[in-house]
Amino acid sequence: MWAGKYVRAMRQGQWEYASRTHGTRAVVILAEHDGKIILIDQPRVAVGRRCLELPAGLIGDIDAGETVEAAAVKELEEETGFTAERIERLGDFHASPGMLSESFTLVRAHGVRRIGSGGGDEHEDISVHLVAREEIADFIQRKRGEGLAVDAKLLIFLNF
């Protein structure tokens, strides 16, 4: 129906959905350091506020031949100031399959260590949080109370 630089609107029969242009995919990173899960928050235009989420980024948006593993390490370092010795693929997932064709590869970072301060590149405003697994539910509620949106991927840490 239309295409912008990053997103295009599609129609198939009666269904309308959005996809990323150029087949760009994403990687989402589960990383733990000293027994604490690494989370971030950053402004998200689509929800009109900061969003609490796992570190993540696009694969091949700068280097077309970039691997999932290389993108995961690059994004982890850039966003959080941590690096990983090894990346383990956990599978491909769809966050909102009724509306988006976008998928992401979930990975686990192993051998995580701090190498910098993080915070993103010059176009980003990322805050880094290290949260003990047993405190994540309360942390999410506190951040929600502060007005942050919460990415659905954080459901993996909540016990219902």
> In the chain, where are the structural domains located?
25-157
DSSP state of 6: S
pLDDT of residue 93: 95
**pLDDT, position 47:** 95
Alpha helices (runs of H) in the chain, residue ranges in sequence order: 68-80, 136-145
Mean pLDDT of the chain: 94
What confidence score (pLDDT) does residue 92 get? 96
Q: Assess whether pLDDT exceeds 90 at residue 40.
A: yes
- Report the pLDDT value the prediction gives residue 127, as an integer from 0 to 100: 97
Instruction: Give 120 or 107, the one with higher predicted confidence.
Output: 107
Q: Does residue 42 contact residue 50 with C-beta atoms inside 8 Å? A: yes
Report the pLDDT value the prediction gives residue 99, as an integer from 0 to 100. Answer: 87
Residues contacting 33, CB < 8 A, separation 6+: 82, 112, 113, 114, 130
Q: How far apart are CA 102 and CA 153, in angstroms?
A: 14
Q: Tell me the pLDDT tens digit for each residue of 58-67.
A: 998 888 899 9
Res 23 pLDDT > 80: no
What mean pLDDT comes out for the span 107-128? 95
Q: How confident is the model at residue 20 (pLDDT cuts 50, 70, 90)?
A: confident
Q: How far apart are CA 87 and CA 22, in angstroms?
A: 25
Which of the following CATH numbers is that of domain 25-157: 3.40.50.300, 3.90.79.10, 3.40.50.2000, 3.40.30.10?
3.90.79.10
**Using one digit for the tens of pLDDT, what is the confidence trace for 119-151?**
988 899 999 999 999 999 999 999 999 999 999
Assigned token pair, 115: 């190498």
Q: What is the pLDDT of residue 129?
A: 98
